[in-house]
C-alpha cells in the first residue's frame, strides 16, 4: 500500500511557529503601546490633557486587532485538526473494496467490470479505450433498465488479448423507439493507497484515482 503527499510534522511546526511569532509580536507591541500611553499620561500638560475618548478609542481598536489575530490562530488550529481527521479517515479505506462514480477500471488477468445504471432498456454500443485513449474494442450489448454489470474479458477488436491496465468505456444506448439512454457508470476495486497532494484525499485502486467524495459504498476487507 502507499500513502503519498502527507504533510509532515515540519510543515505543521512552521505554521505553528509563524502563528506564535505573530502573537508574540502583537503582544510585545501591545505592551509598548500601553507603556507609551502611560508615559504620555504622566507627562501630559495640565493645561492640555489627553482626550479621554480618543485614548479609549485607540486602546479598544488595538485590543480588537489583537483579539482578531488570536481568533485566526484558533481557526487555523481547528482547520489543521480537521485536515488531520480527514487524512486519518482516508487511510482507513486502505484494504477495503469501494464502489465509486467513474468510467475507468482495471483489467486484471482477462477480467474487467463496470457497474452501469441505465435509464431504460435498449441496445448500446460500448467503446473501450486504453490509458492512451486508443480504441481497443467496440461491442454491442443489451441494456436493461436499472443497475447491471458490464463485463469484459480483455479481447480486442483484432482478436488479441489486451494487456492488464486501466481501461475506460463510453456507452451510446438507444431504446427500441430510438430515444437516447442515459447510462451512469461506477467502478469497484480494492484501495491500496491514498494521495494527499490535493485538497481532497484521493484513493488509489492500482493506477486509478478516486476522490474520496466520489465513493458510493465501502466493503471492509477480511
Q: How many CB atoms lie within 10 A of CB 66?
A: 16
How many angstroms separate the CA atoms of 3 and 215, rounded?
A: 18
Query: What residues pair up with 115 in beta bridges, in sequence order?
Result: 149, 186
Identify the sign of the CA torsion 2, 214, 84, 23: positive
Query: Number of C-alpha atoms within 13 angstroms, CB side, residue 30?
Result: 16
pLDDT band at 94 (very low <50, low <70, confident <90, very high): confident
Q: Is 136 exposed, middle or buried (0-12, 13-18, 19+ CB in 10 A)?
A: buried
pLDDT digits (tens, 9 = 90+) for 113-129: 998 999 999 999 999 99
Percentage of the chain beyond pLDDT 70 is 69
For the segment 171-199, the average pLDDT, to the nearest whole number, is 88
Q: What is the pLDDT of residue 201?
A: 84
What is the average pLDDT score of the chain?
Answer: 78
pLDDT digits (tens, 9 = 90+) for 182-191: 999 888 888 8
pLDDT digits (tens, 9 = 90+) for 36-72: 767 766 776 666 666 667 667 766 776 776 677 677 7
How many angstroms separate the CA atoms of 203 and 112, rounded?
A: 19
For the segment 161-181, the average pLDDT, to the nearest whole number, is 93
Contact assessment for residue 212 and residue 93, using Cβ atoms and an 8 Å cutoff: yes
Report which secondary-structure segment, H or E, holds 107: strand 104-107
pLDDT digits (tens, 9 = 90+) for 73-84: 777 766 665 655
Q: How many CB atoms lie within 10 A of CB 171?
A: 20
pLDDT band at 130 (very low <50, low <70, confident <90, very high): very high
Contact assessment for residue 203 and residue 194, using Cβ atoms and an 8 Å cutoff: yes
Query: What residues pair up with 49 in beta bridges, in sequence order?
Result: none
Amino acid at each position: 500500500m502507499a500513502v503519498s503527499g502527507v504533510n509532515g510534522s515540519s510543515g505543521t511546526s512552521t505554521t505553528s511557529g509563524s502563528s506564535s511569532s505573530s502573537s508574540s509580536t502583537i503582544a510585545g507591541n501591545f505592551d509598548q503601546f500601553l507603556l507609551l500611553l502611560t508615559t504620555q499620561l504622566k507627562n501630559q500638560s495640565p493645561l492640555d490633557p489627553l482626550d479621554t475618548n480618543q485614548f479609549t478609542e485607540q486602546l479598544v481598536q488595538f485590543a480588537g486587532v489583537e483579539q482578531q489575530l488570536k481568533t485566526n490562530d484558533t481557526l487555523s488550529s481547528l482547520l489543521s485538526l480537521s485536515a488531520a481527521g480527514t487524512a486519518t479517515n482516508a487511510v482507513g479505506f486502505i484494504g477495503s473494496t469501494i464502489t465509486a462514480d467513474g468510467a475507468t477500471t482495471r483489467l486484471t488477468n482477462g477480467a474487467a467490470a463496470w457497474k452501469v445504471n441505465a435509464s431504460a432498456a435498449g441496445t448500446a454500443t460500448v467503446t473501450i479505450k486504453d490509458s492512451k485513449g486508443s480504441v481497443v474494442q467496440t461491442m454491442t450489448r443489451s441494456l436493461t433498465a436499472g443497475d447491471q454489470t458490464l463485463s469484459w474479458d480483455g479481447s480486442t477488436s483484432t482478436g488479441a488479448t489486451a494487456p492488464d491496465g486501466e481501461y475506460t468505456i463510453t456507452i451510446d444506448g438507444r431504446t427500441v423507439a430510438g430515444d437516447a439512454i442515459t447510462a451512469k457508470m461506477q467502478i469497484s476495486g480494492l484501495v491500496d493507497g491514498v494521495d494527499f497532494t490535493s485538497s481532497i484525499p484521493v484513493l488509489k485502486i492500482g493506477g486509478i484515482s478516486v476522490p474520496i467524495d466520489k465513493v458510493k459504498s465501502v466493503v471492509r476487507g477480511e
